[in-house]
Amino acid sequence: MGFQKMPGTQDLLPGQVERWQFVESKAREICRRFNFREIRTPMFESTDLFRRGVGETTDIVEKEMYTFEDRGGRSLTLRPEGTAGVVRAYVENKMYGEPDLTKLYYIGPMFRYERQQAGRYRQFHQFGVEALGSVDPALDAEVIALGYTFYTEVGLRDVRVEINSVGTPEVRAAFRGKLLEFLEPKRSVLCKDCQSRMDRNPLRVLDCKHDQHHFEGAPSILDSLDEASSRHFEKVKQHLSDMDIPYDINSRLVRGLDYYTNTAFEFKAEGIGAIDTIGGGGRYNGLVGEIGGPDQPGVGFGLGIERTVMILEHQQGGEAAKPRIDVYLVALGEAAERETVKQLQLLRQAGLSAERDYQGRKMKAQMKSADRYAARYTAILGDDELAAGQISLKEMDTGEQRMVPLASLASEIKG
């Protein structure tokens, strides 16, 4: 039966890939405006980096990593997310030594062995940003603003921003105790996931989709914040309001990765079945130190490209606009055919997209091919025109046809 792609992976065919290209080019363009520069890190790293960085008790590390031993006996893992690798590169390349902030972005594949579901893949793609070197709450707000601007400018409607503060590790330790006091009497009625999370990472229990009705009256981490964390959170909210970025406070929002401190946020939208989170991030003041660097703070997000594209399709329908070619060259006769090979090269060098027939088809079939490529022009060359140094140029939208000198074909098309 031949081969098939692995579960949780996708082929992006022409016709689908255009929307991806559009989304990616928007991401790059917006990062340019926000003064974030691209970084490309390896797709695999040492397994220990993710254990340390993402956290031993997270779902990612416990059950979702693609981990293998290479032929040199090293334990490697396909990156399940982008932050740990970026922070590793930041430390390894001593980028913290630069006088300005380090503002980085990346676009690329990530790998998690997850249960398949609409919007959940095993190879998926993130657009992410990381800003390292400042504790200024304006930077948290800037990162959220960048993500919001991205969604708005790719054309997504009704994206919601939810924010929370998860405080410091000390705040969380104290809150964990209070929360467990509230949860313990309910243990037996909670779902299996919640029960296991109560033991491993109680804060995540409040994130559960099924058990929300049991959490009425649960303590809020926002009531447990220390003064500095409270002040930080207030400032982030102020800046968001100043920038007219709408947000909701969700005190139960706890992200699935361990490194967050203070600000945690998610972008949400409807349109992919049960999943409504399309991006998330937050501040991680301890992570750089945790993986062996100096004590430098950071804040960033990761946005799922599959989920962005799925919601765009849901809201806008169908395929993205088909790309057009500039000109289709039709040759009639042997000498003309030889000339089109050369002309094609000249047109392409002049910056035009150009195509011809390679299947020996009749003129009519070639014209149909030009239509399928949505060519703006068709240029028809017969041996007689060739002898006169001319070519017939037809503008496809108007049907207008004229003879132009072969030598100026490219400039005639460029107009």
Residues that bind ligand HAM (CB under 6 A): 81-83, 112, 114, 119-121, 124, 126, 128, 130, 255-257, 277-282, 300-304, 306-307
Q: Nearest residue to ligand HAM, using CB?
A: 304
| Min CB(341)–ligand HAM separation in Å | 45
Sheet holding 67-69, edge to edge: 44-46, 75-78, 67-69
Q: Are 219 and 179 in contact (CB under 8 A)?
A: yes
Q: How far is CA 290 from the centre of its chain?
A: 26
Shortest Å, Cβ 35 to ligand HAM: 17
What is the Cβ-side half-sphere exposure of residue 414, based on CA atoms within 13 angstroms?
10
Nearer to ligand HAM, 271 or 300 (CB): 300
Q: Could you tell me the smallest distance in angstroms from the CB atom of residue 146 to ligand HAM?
A: 12
Quick one: 123 or 353, whose CB is closer to ligand HAM? 123
380 and 391 Cβ atoms separated by less than 8 Å: yes
Residue 304 near residue 278 (C-beta atoms within 8 A)? yes
Closest to ligand HAM by CB, 263 vs 369, is 263
Q: How far is the CB of 82 from ligand HAM (least distance, A)?
A: 5
Length of the chain: 415
Q: Which is nearer to ligand HAM, 159 or 278 (CB)?
A: 278
Nearer to ligand HAM, 124 or 373 (CB): 124
Q: What share of the chain is helix, strand, coil (3-state, %, to 5)?
A: 45, 25, 35
Say if residues 405 and 354 touch (Cβ distance below 8 Å). no
Shortest reach from residue 83's CB to ligand HAM, in Å: 4
Q: How far is the CB of 358 from ligand HAM (least distance, A)?
A: 39
**Which C-beta is closer to ligand HAM: that of 126 or that of 366?**
126
CA neighbours within 13 Å on the CB side: how many for 66?
Answer: 16
Nearest approach, Cβ of residue 228 and ligand HAM (Å): 20
Q: Any residues with CB less than 8 A from the CB of 406 and at least 6 apart, and which?
A: 339, 343, 381, 385, 386, 389, 390, 391
CB closer to ligand HAM out of 81 and 337: 81
